[in-house]
Amino acid sequence: MPTYNYDAFTLYWLMIGAFLGTSVTPLIYDRKGLNPWRGALLGLIVGVISAQIVGRLALALLGGILPGVAPWVSLLGGLVGLGALWALSPASNAPKLRRQGMAAGTVTPLVFYLATLSVFPLLWAFALAFFDYSPRRIGGPLLGLGGDNPFVGLEYFQLMLSGAGRDARIFQNSLLNTLSFTLLVLPLNMLITIPLAVLIESTNSFFRSLFRTLYFLPVVTSSVGVAVMWGYIFNAQYGLLNNGLRTIGATPVAWLQDPTATILGVPAAMAAVVIAYLWQDFGYNLVIFIAALQGIPDSLKDAARVDGGTHWDVFRYVTLPLLRPTIMVTSVLTVISSFQVFDIIQVMTQGGPGRIGLTRVLVLDIYENAFRFERMGWAAAIAVVMFLFVAVLTIIQTRVLRTNWEY
């Protein structure tokens, strides 16, 4: 009899049984005049239980006889219990609400998958932050927590605050680099996108569409490809930038390797990754600002011009205030994406240069601790801190930039 990975099959049975129960049962209940939302809940429970029980029986009974067919049969185990539920549910004379049945059969599976694939991993990360957890060790019976993966409480967070030990110092350096990266990217992005959006909006429809497409192309380009391209530009030996410096007789700079090189007080490596990131990312906010500018009534601008306002006055006193809600949205999105930067830095600098790393950011620290050193608990604690920083910054931006008016 073949050996099956029951952990994997348990997940397959859960997902398939839940999908069948939450998507089909509301439609059947609706046709019978029953409450489709109640049917979605019953379908979820019955589908999951039936899939687990019948799936295991199918593998046990058919695994030795039909080893190639048994796994596929086991995946349909949820239909056994669900078929009985559908057949035994009595019809009602109440009015049929097909729209609710379709809504329940569409919304409920999405909510279940969102909770399973998004909410549960988030809660799991918060739980891991309080344990010295590694997948190499055998822990307790509850998700591997406890035992050889002991509970450490707030120890990781205390280390982060105290800076005691190499890991804590690396974390503090990564946090400062992430904040520095965000503080550079956010204002530069706004200073580029807002004036550029105003200029593009002032052109005719053909050039507006052309420029919008050209500037948005880097957004849909692979981040790894963008990092490789800019890595060649900043290469110390044969990079385009250093070749230009040699042409004019200047001294080439090891932009990505020299920890002492700076640009206006910013480490050259950090400036390089900021430039690469901005080149790829600013087109996203640009398109949003162009759309926001198109929503501003021309009558407001015309009234300002009639009152003697110059182009600068119209931009400063009419356009910019009316863009405030859009500025809030784009600034929040920019901060979130800046905190999540990883691939460009990983490809261009690997977190270097320097002993600790002048471009080492939080996500890179999380990645290396979780998947290179298999220290999931410490990585989860860093992720929790990053989540809290993003949440606080988002609340501050929302409070400062929110408006209580519409136009």
DSSP alpha helix (H) spans, 163-266: 166-201, 205-216, 223-233, 240-247
% residues pLDDT > 70 (the chain): 97
Task: State the first-to-last Cα distance of the chain, in angstroms, to the nearest integer.
Answer: 71
pLDDT attached to residue 406: 65
% residues pLDDT > 90 (the chain): 46
24 pLDDT tier (thresholds 50, 70, 90): very high
Query: What pTM, to 2 d.p., does this model score?
Result: 0.83
Q: d(Cα 20, Cα 366) in Å, to the nearest integer?
A: 36
Q: d(Cα 110, Cα 7) in Å, to the nearest integer?
A: 23
Phi, psi (degrees; rounded to nearest 5) at 96: -80, 130
Report DSSP state, residue 325.
Answer: H
pLDDT attached to residue 401: 85
Tokens of 176: 């400062």
Report which listed range, 238-247, 251-260, 277-286, is most confident.
277-286
How confident is the model over 361-373, as pLDDT tens digits? 999 999 999 988 8
> Mean pLDDT score of the chain, rounded to an integer?
89
Region 292-316: what's the mean pLDDT? 85
pLDDT attached to residue 1: 57
Q: d(Cα 39, Cα 44) in Å, to the nearest integer?
A: 8
pLDDT attached to residue 213: 87
Contact 29, 39 (CB under 8 A): yes
DSSP alpha helix (H) spans, 33-114: 36-62, 70-74, 78-88, 98-114
How confident is the model over 203-250, as pLDDT tens digits? 888 888 898 889 999 999 899 999 999 999 999 888 889 999 888 988
Q: d(Cα 198, Cα 311) in Å, to the nearest integer?
A: 11
Domains along the sequence of the chain with CATH: 6-125 (no CATH), 129-159 (no CATH), 163-401 (1.10.3720.10)
Tokens of 94: 């109440």
Q: Three-state SS for 262?
A: strand
CA distances from 296 to 191, 221, 319 (A): 20, 31, 8
Least confident window among 79-88, 154-163, 183-192, 305-314: 305-314
Amino acid of residue 42: L
> Does 163 score more than 60 pLDDT?
yes
Region 36-58: what's the mean pLDDT? 92
pLDDT attached to residue 20: 93
Q: d(Cα 145, Cα 131) in Å, to the nearest integer?
A: 7
Identify which has the larger pLDDT, 165 or 340: 340
Q: d(Cα 160, Cα 386) in Å, to the nearest integer?
A: 12
How confident is the model over 177-196, as pLDDT tens digits? 999 999 999 999 999 999 99
pLDDT attached to residue 330: 94
pLDDT attached to residue 142: 73
> Does 312 score more than 90 pLDDT?
no
Q: d(Cα 352, Cα 223) in Å, to the nearest integer?
A: 18
Among 234, 229, 344, 330, CA closest to 286 = 330
3-state SS record for 237-256:
CCCHHHHHHHHCCCCCCCCC
Region 250-279: what's the mean pLDDT? 92
Among 326, 334, 333, 288, CA closest to 403 = 326
17 pLDDT tier (thresholds 50, 70, 90): very high
How confident is the model over 75-126, as pLDDT tens digits? 989 999 999 999 998 887 766 555 688 888 889 898 888 888 888 888 888 8
pLDDT attached to residue 97: 55
> Does 350 score more than 70 pLDDT?
yes
285 pLDDT tier (thresholds 50, 70, 90): very high
